[in-house]
Amino acid sequence: MKRTLPALLLTAALAVTAGCDGSGGGGGDAAEANAARGPIDVWLSNNQEELAWGKAMVEAWNAQHADQKINAQEIPAGTSSEEVIGAAITAGNAPCLIFNTAPAAVPQFQKQGGLVALDSFDGGAAYIAERTGQTADQYKSPDGKFYQLPWKSNPVMIFYNKEIFAKAGLDPERPPLATYDQFLAAARKIKSSGAAQAAIYPAPTSEFFQSWFDFYPLFAAETGGKQLVEGGKAQFDSPEGQRVAEFWKTLYTEGLAPKEKYNGDSFADGKAAMAIVGPWAISVYGNKVKWGAVPVPTSTGKPADQIRTFSDAKNVAMYSACKNRATAWDVMRFATSKEQDGALLAKTGQMPLRTDLATAYPDYFAKNPAYQAFADQAARTVEVPNVPNSVAVWQAFRDAYSESVIFGKKPVPDALGAAADKVDQLAAGS
């Protein structure tokens, strides 16, 4: 799968912006801003499905709020949306709300003084907890406050090509992929039969976020839901982490997962029999690939209803330059209401982070059964840890993973041990 930093971080950004003054932190009296209402501007995603949802949401809001209308436009172009937003925070003209804020970016934006604690609004924390349940705890910052509202997830699973599996002599309806041994045996059969160039083709490149789509989902599953860092300490230098890393190392060592970058979508192009992706891929692959989906493997083959995976969530954050924060907070709740979440689900296939997801939209899942497994999986997701130096933490891990797992230049235990020491320092704010 080809992935880019803008796509994974904040490319499909939807921002709602109010009037701002010129100071870096937004200036003005916070209490006054928190109570202020008025017209706001909105930046919408260039992703067609989310753009359609955003425009409809804006129209629905404007029809009910003549004195607090939203004026919509797409997010300004830049090297990446993260850079655009970071620069806007520094300049003091960041938007009020950004839908699709990457959780990994929140610690840096918070460090810049660019975010508003949603707990500062009456019932803010309670609303988040009621909508998202215990999953919301993963999105709290170290100070115990919410600087992001959990919005939607794309829980990743193993997509597999049924035609390639059949060609390799594997059961395309009940593929043997639950355990590491089963997965490796299937991968070897795919490669030896010539059914596909690769069994699976995660990006072997060094960008910090690439581990979200190889190591991290399997680590979440193997550990029963641990984050990469918990309690300020790295968790990956453990027996579970070693097992996951050695599993991937075997795939690379035996040539079942290529070490070269693929320019394109290896799964869609039929070059790889499997991919680790979320429900967004259903509409992308459509009828192009006869696909199936199963949970990520574990060493012992845990039952599907016990498997946890990476959420690939994008959230909503409020930025401190915003003057009309009361309107911004109202829009946040409006855009994440049951009605709007249902509209988002229908237009994009992405999973709203709601406790009642599967039961809230029975008609949708009845008409779209392919999404049901992802709705079930959405209740068991693991987010990136909200820690200082979040991106640097992931980069330190990725560097060690690349060196040992992908390219085999260093023993896995040595690489993960050294990376854990570095991550502990970074997560402590050093």
Quick check: do 38-154+312-382 and 157-310+386-428 share a fold? yes
CA angle 200, 205, 207 (to 5 degrees): 125
Q: State the Cα–Cα distance between residues 223 and 160, nearest whole angstrom.
A: 24
What average pLDDT score do residues 288-308 get? 97
Domain ranges of the chain: 38-154+312-382, 157-310+386-428
Pick the CATH number of 38-154+312-382 from 3.40.50.720, 3.40.190.10, 3.40.50.300, 3.40.630.10: 3.40.190.10
- pLDDT for 13: 40
Half-sphere CA count of 241, side-chain side, radius 13 A? 22
- What are 65-71's contacts with CB under 8 Å, separation 24+? 67/37, 67/38, 67/39, 68/37, 68/38, 68/39, 68/40, 68/324, 68/327, 68/330, 69/39, 69/40, 70/16, 70/39, 70/40, 70/41, 70/42, 70/331, 71/39, 71/40, 71/41, 71/42
Lowest mean pLDDT among 85-89, 265-269, 292-296, 401-405: 85-89
Contact yes or no for 104/126 (Cβ under 8 A): no
Structure tokens at 314: 């994008």
- pLDDT for 68: 96
For residue 157, pLDDT over 90 is answered with yes
CATH topology of domain 157-310+386-428: D-Maltodextrin-Binding Protein; domain 2 (3.40.190)
Q: Could you give phi then psi for residue 419, rounded to 5 degrees?
A: -65, -35
For residue 1, pLDDT over 80 is answered with no
- pLDDT for 422: 98
- pLDDT for 17: 41
Residue 75 — pLDDT band, cuts 50, 70, 90?
A: confident
What average pLDDT score do residues 45-54 get? 87
What average pLDDT score do residues 115-120 get? 96
Q: State the Cα–Cα distance between residues 301 and 339, nearest whole angstrom.
A: 37
Q: Could you give phi then psi for residue 198, rounded to 5 degrees?
A: -140, 150
- pLDDT for 22: 30
Q: Which of 151, 287, 297 minimizes the C-alpha distance to 220?
A: 297
Structure tokens at 167: 């060609």
Contact yes or no for 422/393 (Cβ under 8 A): no
Residue 55: what residue type?
K
**Crossing angle of the two packed helices 390-401 and 412-427, in degrees rounded to 10:** 170
Residue with tokens 């924390």: 125
pLDDT digits (tens, 9 = 90+) for 253-263: 999 999 999 99
For residue 23, pLDDT over 70 is answered with no
- pLDDT for 43: 75
Q: Identify the residue with better confidence: 14 or 413.
A: 413
Residue 228 — pLDDT band, cuts 50, 70, 90?
A: very high
pLDDT digits (tens, 9 = 90+) for 236-277: 999 999 999 999 999 999 999 999 999 999 999 999 999 999
Buried b (16+ CB within 10 A) or exposed e, 22-61: eebebebeeeebbebbebbbbbbbebebbbebbeebbebb
Contact yes or no for 190/164 (Cβ under 8 A): yes
Q: What percent of the chain has pLDDT above 70?
A: 93
Lowest mean pLDDT among 7-11, 210-214, 332-336, 422-426: 7-11
Q: How many CB atoms lie within 10 A of CB 429?
A: 12
Q: State the Cα–Cα distance between residues 238 and 406, nearest whole angstrom.
A: 19
- pLDDT for 76: 80
- pLDDT for 5: 44
Q: Identify the residue with better confidence: 4 or 162.
A: 162
- pLDDT for 4: 43
What average pLDDT score do residues 50-67 get? 94
Radius of gyration from C-alpha coordinates of the chain: 22
- pLDDT for 100: 81
Residue 83 — pLDDT band, cuts 50, 70, 90?
A: confident
For residue 66, pLDDT over 60 is answered with yes
Helix (H, G, I), strand (E, B) or coil at 283: helix
> Would you give the end-to-end CA distance of the chain in angstroms?
34
